[in-house]
Amino acid sequence: EAQVTQNPRYLITVTGKKLTVTCSQNMNHEYMSWYRQDPGLGLRQIYYSMNVEVTDKGDVPEGYKVSRKEKRNFPLILESPSPNQTSLYFCASSRDREDYGYTFGSGTRLTVV
């Protein structure tokens, strides 16, 4: 089944404790992206990647890191999480074409206390 697998689904952590949210897709998509969703603010892009070893900042990159060492994986790293990073996070992938939509992961609900 074609899918984007995102883990974990739920995570509660403490301020400052480094964490990684994994994202993997099995569709050979070039384009991958991370979003955070907060009430009233819609989806805001954190980072995106056009292909292996090519990443770029989205609208809200501060406090996050990403890497794209393999085409299928695009982990999101929070080196020192803070409470304002409490949010719902989505990974998504797509072909690099304007007529292709996203396939989204199931989301990760992160709480930083």
SS3 71: coil
Query: Does position 88 bind another protein by CB under 8 A?
Result: yes
Per CB under 8 A, the segment of 14-22, 67-75, 77-85, 86-94 that binds another protein is: 86-94
Which lies closer to another protein via its Cβ, residue 27 or residue 100?
Answer: 100
Peptide bond into 83 cis (omega under 30): no
Q: How far is the CB of 16 from another protein (least distance, A)?
A: 27
Among 61, 67, 102, 111, binds another protein (CB under 8 A): 102
Q: Which of 52, 61, 48, 42 is nearest to 93 (CA)?
A: 48
Q: How far is the CB of 68 from another protein (least distance, A)?
A: 16
Token pair for residue 54? 């090519």
Token pair for residue 28? 């050979």
CA distances, 40 to each of 17, 36, 112 (Å): 28, 12, 20
Among 24, 25, 33, 93, binds another protein (CB under 8 A): 33
Among 11, 71, 77, 109, binds another protein (CB under 8 A): 109
First-to-last C-alpha distance (Å) of the chain = 36
| Interface with another protein (CB under 8 A) | 31, 33, 40-43, 45, 48, 50, 88, 90, 92, 94, 96-104, 106-107, 109
